Amino acid sequence: MITKKTNILVTLIINPKYERLRDYLVNIADHFEDTGRTLPMVNNGIRLLDVDGLTLCVKHYDRTSWRNRLAVRIYKASKGKHSYNCAAQLRERGFATQEPVAYVAYRRNLMDQNMYFVGVFSNYHHSLHEAFGMPHSERAELLESFAHYAARLHEEGFLPIACSADNILFDRIDGRYRFSILDTGNMKCGRKVSIQKGCKSLAALQADDAFNTTLIRAYAVARGVNEAECQKYFERAKS
């Protein structure tokens, strides 16, 4: 849907399940600034909004370079729209992430556009960043679970371009660790991810040696490859 709002062109892609929120979503920029609250465990510009019994997770994508804005106008999907589509694909493949509610864009002119991705907050209580301070035995179990999760993501063709601990939420559910991707704007969706690219993505976590050793070993097992091969790619990515 494209509509006019005080000389601003509003583009709204909405999940039919949440059609009842249309009027609210058209004004998401105002709600984001006025009543949005930050997530306590992450610092990435995402805010939470409460409406109609739901907790919405809203990501605002700032203006990019003029080259990127021109590319978006001509052939490239915006980050907000990509987030919406990628979240839907992840959920279709059985991965936990926000249920997509809407993509909203406000455009004043050809090159001036602000974008928002709106999802239903998954309500996992911890970010992977907390693993850095865990006792070794507890952290090892978490990292082994995460490595298998990351391996499955990569096998299915999903690759966070720069893996961030703040962007990975987790919780222990029925005795097992479960994971959820918070922001899908920087995720590639497509072909099966190579071992080299998978290791490069994980190396971006910038953790300590003990953390990395456990993660590499478990990831190699999950992908069915030699640990030394993963170690080589990991070290190359960090250098």
Tens of pLDDT, residues 196-228: 999 999 999 878 888 999 999 999 999 999 999
* One domain for residues 105 and 136: no
* One domain for residues 23 and 93: yes
Given 120, 139, 157, which residue is the final one in a domain? 120
* One domain for residues 112 and 176: no
**pLDDT, tens digit (0-9, with 9 covering 90-100), for 42-92:** 656 789 999 999 999 999 887 654 455 444 444 345 788 999 999 999 999
Smallest Cα–Cα separation from 207: which of 219, 195, 196?
219
- What is the count of structural domains for the chain? 2
* One domain for residues 195 and 86: no
The CA distances from residue 189 to 33, 108, 129, 173, 185, in Å, are 31, 30, 24, 27, 11
Q: What angle do CA 114, 153, 91 make, to 5 degrees?
A: 60
Q: What angle do CA 233, 134, 169 make, to 5 degrees?
A: 70
H helices, E strands: number in the chain: 8, 13
* One domain for residues 110 and 140: no
Domain containing 138: what range? 126-238
* One domain for residues 96 and 36: yes
* One domain for residues 91 and 150: no
pLDDT of residue 206: 79
* One domain for residues 91 and 133: no
pTM of the model: 0.84
* One domain for residues 130 and 202: yes
Given 96, 120, 144, which residue is the final one in a domain? 120
* One domain for residues 134 and 223: yes
pLDDT greater than 90 at residue 132: no
Given 64, 93, 120, which residue is the final one in a domain? 120
| Cβ neighbours of 232 (radius 10 Å) | 14
Q: Give me the CATH number covering residue 193.
A: 1.10.510.10
pLDDT greater than 60 at residue 120: yes
